[in-house]
Amino acid sequence: MSDLSPSDFSNPAVVLAGDVDYAMYERFRGQLAEAPAEGLIVIALTTLGGDPEVARMMGEDVRFRSEQEPQRRYVFLGKTAVYSAGATFMSFFARENRYLTRGTRLMIHERKMDKTLHVVGPLTASLASVKALVHEIEQSILIQNEGFETLIAGSSVTLDDLLQKAPSNWYVEAREAVDLGLVQAVL
């Protein structure tokens, strides 16, 4: 695939800004349905984060369409801020289809949970509740790490490096993202 020029990004087919949530997913699906039937499909995103599962749904739509529609080239354009769930969404694009505007920051962190477990009642029932929460955490870590591996595929970043940086919010400036091989180019 050839590198794209700034003029290729002058009129994105999909433009999204704000929280990655179900409302964004609806806007994404609507704009994607109106996108040209062939050629370059630029999806521009600015976000401070949101729901990682919604980001994964959007990403799966891109992955599936990319495999089923060879006449289209889906390209990611991160603008200003691509934090958290935005980086998750970006990971579904092939590295050569990831672009950032100048000064854009990626922010990558571990998944977070806000849950209280109140243990009351018979011990066996309490143990089942505790085990269920442990299983939820374990599966969330597996999903998180699968996404991390996809994000860094073909880059100079190792999973160990990422796992060390992610707990404290790893910010990556656009030029650094290119140097690390996380994205193709900066516009």
CB 152 within 8 A of CB 79: no
Per-residue pLDDT at 159 exceeds 90: yes
The pLDDT score that the predictor gives to residue 118 is 87
pTM of the model: 0.91
Q: Note the pLDDT tens digit of each residue in 88-122.
A: 999 999 999 999 999 999 999 998 888 888 888 88
Domains and CATH numbers, the chain: 6-186 (3.90.226.10)
The pLDDT score that the predictor gives to residue 14 is 98
- Strand duo 170-173 + 105-108: pairing: antiparallel
Residue found under tokens 């999204």: 16
Give the confidence band of 1 by pLDDT, cuts at 50, 70, 90: low
- Give the chain's length: 187
The pLDDT score that the predictor gives to residue 117 is 86
DSSP letter, residue 38: S
